[in-house]
Structure 1
Amino acid sequence: MNTLQAILLAIIEGITEFLPVSSTGHMIIASSFFGIAQDDFTKLFTIVIQLGTILSVVVLYFKRFFQSFDFYFKLFVGFIPAVIFGLLFSDAIDQLLENPITVAVSLIIGGVLLLKVDDWFGNSEETKISYLTAFKIGLFQCLAMIPGVSRSGASIVGGMTQKLSRTTAAEFSFFLAIPTMLGATVKKSYDYYKAGFELTQEQVNLLIIGNIVGFIVALIAIKSFIGYLQKHGFKIFGYYRIIAGIAILLIHFFIQKLTII
């Protein structure tokens, strides 16, 4: 991985992490396009730079983190399902991460659902989150362990099924990203350390650059997303996912056909 690739991947991460379009899916496709998807450092990079994006949530919603301890307990309750499912299905998840077909199909299915979610749940105005609601949103978030599903999309829709307003569901999804992605970063870093993976100074520099770029881009993306969501809903993201999923399938099968020829 070179510096330009690191910057481009960080921009993609910053834009897509909090949008319902699947950051993991986009990172898989982008790194495959660069020809570095199978590299161990690339896999570590795509996880570690999430620290920059979650820092953007802390900065934007700084005051919310000092309102009450109840806020942290609800985040913990919402985080529990991800811990359980992550530990149980870690190997299976790693295999899925290398399959572009899984990403494409997930993008399309998720896109169809986003086209309908405003009609089904768009009139909800609830702003209070109970512990049970937090836990149910955490269960929905686990669907994002399938590449292409979208962590933010799954958790936002999960919140809306519990009659939360779009804005409340989206903001809780942002908050829930902090323990979820922090936990994933720590686990993945430990796995690489245990496997004897050592970072060079150049790789450390790329991680620093990636986190800084991801942080700045995510700040802009979150503010823009909330504003757009309040006015227009999810339909544009649904259409985007469907188009992107179909494009990935067409490109994949076209490349396969060329390989056979």
Structure 2
Amino acid sequence: MEFIEILKAIILGVIEGITEWLPISSTGHMILADEFIQLNMSAEFKEMFFVVVQLGAILAVVLLYFNKLNPFSSKKTAREKNETWTLWFKVVVACLPAAVIGLLFDDLIDELFYNYQTVSITLIVYGIWFILIENKNKKNYYKPAINDFSQLTYATAFKIGLFQLLSLIPGTSRSGATIIGGMLVGTSRFVATEFTFFLAIPVMFGASLLKLRKFGLVFTSAELIILLTGTFISFLVSIIAIKFLIGYIKRNDFKAFGYYRIVLGIVVILYFSLLA
């Protein structure tokens, strides 16, 4: 295997690690990246790689929030352990809509919507949505009703999960959909963002297992090296991206991401239109 293939996996891991957590659509970036950084692998492997590489991003969340998400920690009181279990139950409730629809229509969604036209439209539409929501919040002096996970009810968690359904359409951005959804149902940006991180754990583990099962667990040595390299780099970069986003939202709104999405959506349209 040539070193260039490992370098491609590293670059793709960097892109995944950054774009998975920022509300700018990892799928949109991966589609563009695949045009310029094409892995010399089978189409089936690449389809699996672009999903399973997300496991690195998930492990970053597990590492950074291990204490908060660990209900068995000896450092926690009985009350704190109970609160942790309650948080996990809310995560499960929020994941149910996407899990059910994703399992039933995974192949159909890929067939109908995994194309640059869909990605570019969703990038632009949700970019505009980010800007409009933030402008409305600024005008109305946004004061969220939910500033702590103890205030997050199961009903509100389920509503956020319904917004996560939107992310089944490529280009939407899973984090973008759930953050917007959380803010619309009354959570603070901070709670919406952290809850988005936690939702990703079962959702992306499930999606990765589905793709691995579909591809099969038999890899060539080259395929295994590429997959592990991309996943490890995604893990490292995700740690930086998550810390950046948490720090960013303490001082800023999400309008910058909205403008970025619109620009990227236009770039995707223009690029593929010129190729046609």
When normalised by structure 1's length, the TM-score is 0.92
| Conserved? CA contact 1:102–1:148, under 8 Å | yes
1:125 is displaced (CA, Å) by 4.9
Q: In the alignment, which of 52, 71, 89 is matched to residue 105 of structure 2?
A: 89
Task: Tell me if structure 1 keeps the 8 A contact 2:127–2:260.
Answer: yes
| Alignment pair present for 1:31 and 2:51 | no
Give the deviation of 1:248 after TM superposition. 0.8
Q: Does 1:223 align with 2:223?
A: no
Among 179, 187, 209, the residue aligned to 2:229: 209
Q: Distance in 2 between matches of 1:158 and 1:178?
A: 18
- Which residue number corresponds to residue 3 of structure 1? 6
| SS in structure 1 at match of 2:251 | helix
* 2:210 alignment partner in structure 1: 187
Query: Aligned ranges for residues 42-61 of structure 1 at < 5 Å?
Result: 42-61=46-65
Task: Give the AA of the match of 2:244.
Answer: S
State the distance in 1 between where 2:213 and 2:28 align.
Answer: 23
Q: Structure 1 residues 51 and 43, CA, compared in 2 at 3 Å: closer, same or farther?
A: same
Structure 1 distance, partners of 2:199, 2:24, is 17
State the partner residue of 1:18: 21
Alignment counterpart, residue 116 of structure 2, candidates 76, 86, 100: 100
Q: Is the 8 A contact 1:96 1:146 kept in 2?
A: no
**Does the alignment pair 1:71 with 2:75?**
no
Alignment of 1:152-163 (within 5 A): 152-163=175-186
Distance 2:179 2:63 in 1: 21
Distance 1:200 1:38 in 2: 12
Deviation at 1:180, TM superposition (A): 0.3
What is aligned with 2:127?
111
Which of 41, 44, 53 aligns to 2:45? It is: 41
Report how far residue 251 of structure 1 moved. Answer: 1.0
Q: TM-score, normalised by structure 2?
A: 0.87
Structure 2 Cα separation of the partners of residues 16 and 136 of structure 1: 24
Aligned to 2:174: 151
1:62 matched to 2:66: yes
- 1: CA distance, partners of 2:136 / 2:96: 27
* Kept in 1: contact 2:17–2:235 (CA 8 A): yes
Instruction: Answer yes or no: is the 8 Å Cα contact 1:12–1:23 preserved in 2.
Output: yes
- Who is 1:232 aligned against? 252
Q: Which residues of structure 2 form unaligned runs of 5+? A: 71-80
Cα distance in 2 between the residues matched to 1:221 and 1:120: 27
1:166 aligned to which of 173, 182, 189: 189
Per-residue deviation at 1:215? 0.6
SS at match of 1:148: coil
The alpha carbon displacement at 1:38 in A equals: 7.3
**1: CA distance, partners of 2:225 / 2:251:** 40
CA distance in 1, matches of 2:13, 2:112: 22
**Which position in structure 2 is the counterpart of 1:259?**
none
Relative distance call for 1:205 and 1:97 in structure 2 (3 A) is farther
**Unmatched 5+ stretches in structure 1:** 257-261
Q: Is the 2:91–2:198 contact (alpha carbons within 8 Å) kept by the matching residues of 1?
A: yes
What amino acid sits opposite 1:253 in the alignment?
A: S
- 1:123 is matched with 143
Deviates further, 62-71 or 10-19: 62-71
Q: Give 1:176 deviation, angstroms.
A: 0.2
* Among candidates 265, 270, 275, match of residue 245 of structure 1: 265
Q: How far apart in 2 are the matches of 1:30 and 1:198? A: 26
Deviations 1:127-171 (A, max 9, x none): 221111111111101101111100000011111111100000000
Deviation of 1:119 (Å):
3.0
